[in-house]
Amino acid sequence: MGYSGFTIGVKAVHVDADSLEQLNLRTRDGAERAGRALAEAVDTETQIGATKITIASQGDLVAELITAGEECLEFELRGPLSGTAILAFDEPAQALIGEAMAERGGLESLAAELLDAFVDEWEAHVGGTLSVEAATYIPDPATHDFGFETISDETESAPLFQGRIEAVGGDGRVKLHLLPDATSLETLLSVDESDGDSLDVTDDFDADENAGASQDDGFAGTLDDSEPEGAFGMGDSNGDGGLFDDAEEETPPLPLDKLSVFSDLTRAGTHAAAERVTMMTGIETETEIAGISFTPIDDISADLGGKTYVGTTTEFEGTPSGHLVIMFPEDGAKRIAEAMMPSIPDGEGLTPMHESALEELGNIMTSGFIDGWANVLQTSVDHTPPEFSDDMELTLLEVVTDQLGPFQTHAYTIESRITTDSVAFDCEIHALPNEAQLSAALDDLLVARADQVEADPEDVF
């Protein structure tokens, strides 16, 4: 399902860091309210996991729900913020709730309570009452119609707000997904937080956040002839540029429709990288959960799930430039490396031969991933040889800090995953483009070229 050219007047919708940060704070505040409601209902301490805004397709959402094997309930929202909300409960959470709520309506009743708590924060933001319709159980996400409304007819993607609640000191996780419809995106754009009515929130909304929220919120509907804030916080009120900008330049916000096309392009790049893995190893691969996310930096390590990763880092140069990080769970990395070798080397753990094989694999995957970008963006993007790291959580955080500087609170990352059935192996790809250069490239992007993602093999090998 799609709608053409979501615009304000005749100007395309753009997004900037301040807008996304404020909306992500709303998502986190809503998740915290829902977490307190869950803790009270099941008498278990809870904490908030990663929250983020993802430019995703319905296929991305379905892949995530299927992979996690969760119990899913869908709710329709009505009011100034309308759309679809999905609550997903993993098996430990289902067991915990089933025992505590056996005489109080069970999982469905608690899900409604959690969603009511979650939307309370959004009611304060949009300045109106939201109603939650009865829950619909989703037996099979793969065949369910989520009513996904895309940014335009040229893209499969739309903004998806995501939060996570976790039991402290034990198992149990609840994920919240909010998918606003087209009308609600317009509502979010039109909210003026300088209006005191829209800031009449409850006492657990911190006063400092209240003051910071006086800036325009929502997806900023920036007109072409305006003088916008720096995209992703790269500029400030004095006109100073960010880490990668000249001091006199401000980075314009990103066009939302083209950002969504770029998300689709990233999905295609992941498929290309997976095909290179198959060509190199003979192992059939699958791709899932590809998309562009705007995530608090503090949540990046939390999103890795506590696993130990090894992998490679690559710096790419061109328009855009940035870093590409390919992460393998340690045990899977050993298996995929050995699948590339004529014989298994002696020694425990990852030997230098394993590391060399992973660097070679990283090089092939990187080429497949970014060449599609260059073709569609009509730019030249080169990359350095991959470097192996045996502590990818630390390496990823170092890359983020180096890319964004010490004062940026959120990271703009491109995330995807490649898995196999025949070999117990998966990997995650995290790309961190230079936001200033990406903004310029997307501004020149011809949406009609989005289907041109195949690279010339002579340019790759």
**DSSP string computed for 203-264:** TTS-HHHHHHTTS--SS----TTS-PPPGGG-S-TT----TTS-TT--PPPEEHHHHHHHHH
pLDDT of the residue at 137: 92
Q: Is the pLDDT of residue 364 over 50?
A: yes
Determine the angle formed by the axes of helices 256-281 and 330-339, rounding to 10 degrees.
50
Domain(s) of CATH 3.40.1550.10: residues in the chain: 13-212, 255-460
Instruction: Give the chain's radius of gyration (CA, Å).
Output: 22
Per-residue pLDDT tens for 14-32? 667 677 888 888 899 999 9
pLDDT of the residue at 189: 57
Poorest-confidence range of 45-49, 84-88, 212-216, 269-273? Answer: 212-216
Q: Which residue has the tokens 């007819």?
A: 153
CATH class of 13-212: alpha beta
Q: Is the pLDDT of residue 279 over 80?
A: yes
> What's the average model confidence in pLDDT over 273-283?
82
pLDDT of the residue at 297: 76
**pLDDT band per the 50, 70, 90 thresholds, residue 331:** confident
The pTM for the full model equals 0.72
Rounded to the nearest integer, the mean pLDDT of the chain is 75
Per-residue pLDDT tens for 108-166? 999 999 999 999 888 888 888 889 998 999 988 888 888 777 777 777 788 889 999 99
Helix-strand-coil split of the chain, %, nearest 5: 40, 25, 35
Q: Which of 89, 61, 58 is nearest to 73 (CA)?
A: 89
Residues 6+ apart with CB under 8 A from 332: 423, 424, 425, 426, 427
pLDDT of the residue at 416: 77
- Strand-pair partners of 310: 328
Per-residue pLDDT tens for 373-415? 777 777 788 889 999 999 888 888 788 777 666 666 777 777 7
pLDDT above 90 covers a percentage of the chain that reads 20
Structure-block tokens of residue 357: 């094989």
Q: Is the pLDDT of residue 13 over 60?
A: yes
The fold for domain 255-460 equals Chemotaxis protein chec (3.40.1550)
CA distance 18 to 38: 30
> What's the average model confidence in pLDDT over 192-205?
39
Q: Is the pLDDT of residue 176 over 90?
A: yes
